[in-house]
């Protein structure tokens, strides 16, 4: 693995650990020439492409990083680890690919994300829902929060 700073051709692995429920190997590396440390991830390359059908009918390839950015945004300033959010994104991606369909509605992705966040952190769940559900006004949002409170 080449160093990302000085492009030296040999780097040393200083730590290895599995993430995303054992489906990814995370390696911390160090360059013996410049001392730079960086992280690499090793995962199985999957050939099945899943297209997400948006509300307006557009289709785009599923992007785990886009999903992860939305999850991270919902969890800002919350006691939630990035590794936990990466696990959620991996579970959602796996669930979509296991359906065996080439096209998945974006609403399914949103609902899966909301369900995961509901179990993880209620505040993050409400934040994500406020963007995903596109509440028309404050009263619709208040009704949503009230129903959440009643479920407890």
Q: How many CB atoms lie within 10 A of CB 90?
A: 19
* β-pairing verdict for 37-43 and 51-53: unpaired
Token pair belonging to 27: 């390696």
The yes-or-no verdict on residue 144 having pLDDT over 90 is no
CA distance 117 to 114: 5
Cβ atoms 126, 80 nearer than 8 A: no
pTM over 0.75, yes/no:
no
Reported as a single tens digit per residue, the pLDDT across 40-95 is 999 887 656 789 999 999 999 999 999 999 999 999 999 999 999 999 999 999 89
Please say whether the structural domain 1-45 has been given the CATH code 3.30.160: no
DSSP single-letter state for residue 11 = -
Tell me which H or E stretch contains 152: none
Cβ atoms 62, 96 nearer than 8 A: yes
Reported as a single tens digit per residue, the pLDDT across 12-55 is 999 999 988 888 999 999 999 999 999 999 988 765 678 999 99
């Amino acid at each position: 693995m080449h160093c990302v700073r000085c492009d030296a051709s040999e780097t040393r692995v200083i730590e290895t650990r599995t993430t995303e429920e054992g489906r990814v190997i995370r390696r911390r590396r160090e360059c013996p020439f410049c001392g730079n440390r960086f992280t690499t991830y090793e995962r199985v390359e999957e050939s099945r492409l899943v297209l997400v059908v948006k509300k307006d009918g557009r289709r785009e390839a599923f992007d785990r990083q886009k999903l992860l950015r939305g999850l991270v945004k919902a969890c800002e300033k919350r006691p939630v680890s990035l590794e936990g959010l990466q696990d959620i994104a991996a579970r959602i991606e796996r669930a979509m690919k296991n359906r065996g369909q080439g096209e998945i509605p974006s609403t399914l992705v949103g609902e899966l994300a909301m369900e995961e966040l509901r179990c993880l952190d209620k505040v993050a769940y409400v934040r994500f829902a406020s963007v995903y559900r596109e509440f028309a006004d404050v009263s619709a949002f208040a009704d949503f929060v009230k129903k959440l409170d009643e479920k407890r």
